[in-house]
A and B are shown apart, each in its own frame.
Chain A
Amino acid sequence: MRVKIRVNVNGEAVDADVVPRTLLVHWLREEQGLTGTHIGCETSLCGACTVHLDGKAVKSCTLFAVQADGCDVRTIEGMGEANALHPVQMGFWEEHGLQCGYCTPGMIMATSALLAENANPSEAQIRHALEGNICRCTGYQQIVNAVQHAARSMREGK
Chain B
Amino acid sequence: MSINSKLDIYNGSLDVSLIIKRWYDEESQSNYGAYIPFIGTVRSEDGIDGLSFDIYEPILFSWFNAWKVKAEKRGAIVKMAHSKGDVMLHESSYIASVFSPKRRVALELIDEFVEDFKASAPIWKYDLKDGRRIYAKDRSTAIKGSGLLGVTL
Partners in one complex: no
